[in-house]
Amino acid sequence: MKVLVTGGGGFLGRAIVRMLLAQGDEPRVLGRGEQPSLVSQGITVHRGDISESAAVHAALTGCDAVIHTAAMIGSWGRARDFDRVNVTGTRNVIEACRALNVPKLVFTSTPSVVHSGGDVCGVDESVPYASSFDAHYPRTKAIAERLVLAANDSGLSTVALRPHLIFGPGDTQLIPRAVERARAGRLFLPGGPPKLVDWTYIDEAASAHLLALFRLAPAAACAGKAYFISQGQPVAVTELISRAVTAAGGPALPSRRIPPPVLFASGCLAEAAFFALRIYDREPPITRFIARQLTTAHWFDISAARRDLGFNPQITLDEALQNVTAPPSSTQPANSP
């Protein structure tokens, strides 16, 4: 198939493109950068902004499907910027699919769309969307996911995947940022009882998208539904961060821990200060969203993904951490259709 990958120059997008190539499909990429490494592989790269309808139409013309990974991520920023990319951009993708008769849309969402602030332990996809959010990222992703699922019909089959804490070789966000903060003495870890969180290895996250793409059809079990995606191996958040930072060559983390109420209050104060100073081009040292993620449990039942997508994650945490600093080598998804 000819498959457009929006955000194909990003961490997850590149892994998806690599796997599409490996199984003989023809990926195309829509992104704002030039992506010379993708062009050198013969991949067509359309430069453009996902929020611009004409750019999306041009990139999607002639395609058989789209995997929509492009998004504005982060725990701080202007509401209008998140809405422009995550909501308007997703509307543009749906409208382009309709106009060009593209029959398949796989959307990358996030488990944060159901996280209202308390512990979330082993829930399945029947759990409702959160009623309030600590950041514009999960708020706008919830809106976008609803748009995607509502668009599912006989002419356009849609599915939303919710991978959690993706990392692995080539990660430029999660672990590198944790290492950077650790070296600067700004990595805050919570005290109190251990809180379990899910995580997802990059190859498994990419594989889930290809599995969904392969099975997606008007009468498919996955059409019009959302799925939690993870390794199914929840681990204490402090252990995950500590081991990941160590594996990536970061410093040993201090034993000092911050009480969760203090951590959340610090996020509130930091956001208030950045808002008052109109600082939006960088994140505060701590935000409410990050504080919630660090101080609450969030792990999910992936039985539905196993059943409907054939998703069967294999990589253990030890194996994932061994590969953190290694260059990407896998070219075939572990759950290849």
**pLDDT higher than threshold 60 for residue 38:** yes
Q: Residue 187 — pLDDT band, cuts 50, 70, 90?
A: confident
137 a catalytic residue? yes
Q: Which of 259, 292, 118, 255 is nearest to 191 (CA)?
A: 259
Backbone dihedral region of 184: left (phi > 0), alpha (psi from -120 to 50 degrees) or beta?
Answer: alpha
Residue 63 is predicted with a pLDDT of 98
pLDDT tens-digit map of 144-181: 999 999 999 999 999 999 999 999 988 888 888 888 88
Residues near 285 by Cβ (< 8 Å), separated by ≥ 6? 186, 188, 270
Q: How far apart are CA 217 and CA 223, in angstroms?
A: 7
Residue 203 is predicted with a pLDDT of 97
Tell me the average pLDDT across 197-219: 97
Q: Which of 118, 149, 145 is nearest to 224 (CA)?
A: 149
* Average pLDDT of the residues of the chain: 93
**pLDDT higher than threshold 80 for residue 53:** yes
Q: How far apart are CA 141 and CA 147, in angstroms?
A: 10
**Integer angstrom CA distances of residue 92 from 54, 88, 179, 205:** 9, 6, 36, 24
Catalytic residue, chosen from 137, 201, 227, 280, is 137
**Sequence letter at residue 248:** A
Most confident segment among 38-47, 226-235, 318-327: 226-235
**Sequence letter at residue 179:** V
Q: How far apart are CA 259 and CA 261, in angstroms?
A: 6
Residue 18 is predicted with a pLDDT of 96
Residue 14 is predicted with a pLDDT of 95
> For residue 258, what is the DSSP state?
B
Domains of the chain: 2-322 (3.40.50.720)
Q: How far apart are CA 4 and CA 7, in angstroms?
A: 9
Q: Residue 331 — pLDDT band, cuts 50, 70, 90?
A: very low
Q: Residue 141 — pLDDT band, cuts 50, 70, 90?
A: very high
pLDDT tens-digit map of 75-110: 999 999 999 999 999 999 999 999 999 999 999 999
* Count of helices and strands (H, E) across the chain: 13, 13
Residue 318 is predicted with a pLDDT of 93
**pLDDT higher than threshold 80 for residue 291:** yes
Q: Which of 99, 23, 124 is nearest to 333 (CA)?
A: 23
Output Rg (C-alpha) for the chain, integer angstroms.
19
Q: Residue 326 — pLDDT band, cuts 50, 70, 90?
A: very low
Tell me what percent of the residues of the chain surpass a pLDDT of 90: 81
Rounded (10°) CA dihedral 141, 142, 147, 152: 100
| C-beta of residue 134 within 8 angstroms of C-beta of residue 292 | yes
Residue 325 is predicted with a pLDDT of 63
Alpha helices in the chain (DSSP H): 11-22, 36-39, 53-60, 79-82, 89-100, 136-150, 174-183, 202-215, 237-247, 260-276, 288-295, 303-309, 317-322
Which three-class secondary structure state does DSSP give residue 103?
coil
Backbone dihedral region of 334: left (phi > 0), alpha (psi from -120 to 50 degrees) or beta?
Answer: alpha
115-150 exposure pattern, b = at least 16 Cβ within 10 A, e = fewer: bbbeebeeeebebebbeebbbbbbbbbbbbbbbbbe
Tell me what percent of the residues of the chain surpass a pLDDT of 70: 96
Residue 337 is predicted with a pLDDT of 41
Q: Which of 293, 287, 281 is nearest to 269 (CA)?
A: 287
Q: How far apart are CA 124 and CA 227, in angstroms?
A: 8
